[in-house]
Structure 1
Amino acid sequence: MGMSANCEAPSFEMPRSVVKKVLAEAQQEGEGASVRRSIGRPELKNLDPFLMLDEFSVSAPAGFPDHPHRGFETVTYMLEGAFTHQDFSGHKSTIRAGDLQWMTAGRGVVHSEMPAAEGVQKGLQLWINLPSKDKMIEPRYQELQSKDIARAEKDGVEARIIAGEAFGVRSPAYTRTPTMYLDFTMQPGSQLHQPVPVSWNAFVYVIEGEGVFGETSASSHHVLVLSTGDGLSVWNRSDGPLRFVLVGGKQLDEPVVQYGPFVMNTQAEIQQTLEDYRNCRNGFEKARKWSS
């Protein structure tokens, strides 16, 4: 690999291209919150192992009051402002711009996510499915503060490595479903050639600016589903910075049955989950007496 640093572009054997481009349009969610949903829209139901991607924009008193989850993980990455999360086990934390919370809901969490600062709070929330063997595990959290997120910079491209690896730098985050999550900011005139495991599903979400991904141009609030391949090339030919996340994950290849905030493998498991939640059992015991 030592030689390739001087080359214009590493030649990927199978460069990834954009197979689907969807604009995430704003919709109302929670209590007065506005979200731009990309994955999870009717035209992009899911992208195994990813169930949903929302770019949220919320000002107090709006937010996401007490609600349950089971069977997957929520990854919340703050872009602006701050959000306080609290759950029925007594876990409480506030994440600010650049911070991340990786919550494995497993068998059951009831929590609230509410603005913790003046003005508009913005961020991305990604839902990652769990394999059937892990759906009923105990909930857990990983919280990474901005200062602890690995960074690397090369030729006008800055990477924040939330999960996986870029420019030879690896993230400390543990991902139960193998996942990469990279936040890139590219200066005008820069280019990026980022390897991606060949068989994984991967997508780009453009946060701001515009760029050329493979052979496709895209601007803010677009999600780009990528073909299979061993890497993605991106060029910033505009005169402003380009910021996007590149996310990839290993497919679970299992049936997905979703009912709102519950994601299982069969309809029977969803029925069971609804009963468990209603009767505060099998992971929802603490919901009986709790409110945020």
Structure 2
Amino acid sequence: MLRHSASSSSSPIYTALARLTKFNSNGSKSSNRVLVQSRKTTIMSSSTSASSSPAAVPFENPRPVVKKLLSEAQSEGQGATVRRSIGRHELRNLDPFLMLDEFSVSKPAGFPDHPHRGFETVTYMLDGAFTHQDFSGHKGTIRTGDVQWMTAGRGIVHSEMPASDGVQKGLQLWINLAAKDKMIEPRYQELQSNDISCASQDGVDVRIIAGEAFGVRSPVYTRTPTMYMDFTMQPGSQLHQPIPAGWNAFVYIIEGEGVFGREKAAPTAAHHCLVLGADGDGLSVWNRSGAPLRFALAAGQPLKEPVVQHGPFVMNTRAEIQQAMEDYYHGRNGFEKAKQWTSA
């Protein structure tokens, strides 16, 4: 997704994209062949398997909430609106996570042609449909409940635009790649809604985008070990989801309100991002309201590497960022096709 704020010209994302656009207006660019992973192929995740347990069996030491951030609406892309949590100045990143946006977009707004290098984007549609197309000929539409897991690697130029009338809603998560993986060939993993692993226990339903819950595992391969899940909890239910030791984790509340971390904590409502502490067995949640609670849980193994970001490029050093900009400007090292390509 294009990190380009139309509301603030002082935004580092806006400045980076503006510079790229100005410099590259007559430049040459492109990317090597995109590898597409069939949604029907099952690939075991590289993530460490979290042990399964009943939803209602409490932990002796649940992870506490150590930071709470309300995601405020801001303009992005071309007329689009997002609620950003991770990626704001209050929470620049949460290793290995770089950004989380809850987007809400109607035609003709969207995220037109823009580049990426050095990380992955995970787009999860909550409602509506988005069409993705890139400079190597890959094109597809993801609809409510579908997931696109895109590994940008050494270079992608693509667009993401609404595919139907009305408001299109979803989450986009940026996951960093280790230095050894930043220049790999681009690839995709795409799952339709009915292909996503699901499980239910004790009034709790989960859609498992990556990782494992209630003994059920997602087919998605995570190059940076990651778990990513969509939970819906009925009134009166509780959840105790293991998280691998040493992984950073956060919750994003989509709908409703719940008690997170500690049983006596105050409830937290929708559009909040909750960062969990590093120590503890996992996430504990109680839904004491009279309505369903829906939230996303993400956790990942920290890379513990330097993060240098300039707009749509995320590398380990300033020299690598400069190289990425030059490659994009001059159409080389993964950006060879971009000059001849414009999205439909």
> Same fold, TM exceeding 0.5?
yes
Q: 1:82 matched to which residue of 2?
A: 129
Q: 2:158 matched to which residue of 1?
A: 111
Q: 1:233 matched to which residue of 2?
A: 284
- CA drift of 1:10 comes to 3.5
Q: Distance in 2 between matches of 1:24 and 1:256?
A: 23
Q: In the alignment, which of 273, 292, 309 is matched to residue 258 of structure 1? A: 309
Q: In the alignment, which of 261, 264, 269 is matched to residue 219 of structure 1? A: 269
Deviations 1:18-64 (A, max 9, x none): 00000000000000000000000100000000000000000000000
Q: TM-score, length-normalised on structure 2?
A: 0.82
Q: 1:272 matched to which residue of 2?
A: 323
Q: TM-score, length-normalised on structure 1?
A: 0.97
Q: Distance in 1 between matches of 2:325 and 2:93?
A: 22
Q: Given residue 316 of structure 2, which amino acid in structure 1 is its aligned partner?
A: N
Asked if residue 173 in structure 1 is aligned to residue 198 in structure 2, the reply is no
Q: Distance in 2 between matches of 1:257 and 1:210?
A: 35
Deviations 1:81-101 (A, max 9, x none): 000000000000000000000
Q: Which runs of 5+ in 2 are unaligned?
A: 1-52
Q: 2:175 matched to which residue of 1?
A: 128
Q: 1:37 matched to which residue of 2?
A: 84
Q: 1:202 matched to which residue of 2?
A: 249
Q: Distance in 2 between matches of 1:144 and 1:8?
A: 29
- CA drift of 1:198 comes to 1.4
Deviations 1:132-180 (A, max 9, x none): 0000000000000000000000111000000000011000000000000
Q: Which runs of 5+ in 1 are unaligned?
A: none
Secondary structure of 1:238's counterpart equals coil
Q: Distance in 2 between matches of 1:65 and 1:8?
A: 45
Secondary structure of 2:180's counterpart equals helix
Q: Distance in 2 between matches of 1:111 and 1:11?
A: 44
Q: Distance in 1 between matches of 2:59 and 2:119?
A: 36
Q: Distance in 1 between matches of 2:291 and 2:134?
A: 40
Deviations 1:233-287 (A, max 9, x none): 1000000000000000000000000001100000000000000000010000011
Q: 2:96 matched to which residue of 1?
A: 49
Stretches of 4+ aligned residues off by more than 2 angstroms:
7-12
Deviations 1:176-200 (A, max 9, x none): 0000001000000000010000100
Q: 1:15 to 1:275 in 2, by over 3 A?
A: same
Q: Distance in 1 between matches of 2:197 and 2:324?
A: 37
Please tell me whether the aligned partners of residues 56 and 239 of structure 2 are also in contact (alpha carbons under 8 angstroms): no
Q: Distance in 2 between matches of 1:212 and 1:263?
A: 35
- CA drift of 1:230 comes to 1.8
Q: 1:102 matched to which residue of 2?
A: 149
Secondary structure of 1:39's counterpart equals strand
Q: 1:189 matched to which residue of 2?
A: 236
Q: Given residue 274 of structure 1, which amino acid in structure 2 is its aligned partner?
A: M
Q: In the alignment, which of 275, 282, 285 is matched to residue 333 of structure 2? A: 282
Q: Distance in 1 between matches of 2:102 and 2:112?
A: 17
Q: Given residue 224 of structure 1, which amino acid in structure 2 is its aligned partner?
A: L
Q: Distance in 2 between matches of 1:136 and 1:8?
A: 43
Q: 1:71 to 1:242 in 2, by over 3 A?
A: same
Secondary structure of 2:141's counterpart equals strand
Q: Given residue 323 of structure 2, which amino acid in structure 1 is its aligned partner?
A: Q
- CA drift of 1:8 comes to 5.1
Q: Distance in 1 between matches of 2:316 and 2:178?
A: 9
Q: 1:59 matched to which residue of 2?
A: 106
Q: Given residue 82 of structure 1, which amino acid in structure 2 is its aligned partner?
A: A
Q: Given residue 57 of structure 2, which amino acid in structure 1 is its aligned partner?
A: A
Give 1 or 2: higher strand fraction: 1
Q: Given residue 182 of structure 2, which amino acid in structure 1 is its aligned partner?
A: K
- CA drift of 1:9 comes to 2.5
Higher relative contact order (CA 8 A, sep 6+): 2
Secondary structure of 1:94's counterpart equals strand
The percentage of counterpart residues that share the same residue type is 77
Q: Distance in 2 between matches of 1:8 and 1:86?
A: 43
Q: Distance in 2 between matches of 1:10 and 1:220?
A: 24
Secondary structure of 2:131's counterpart equals strand
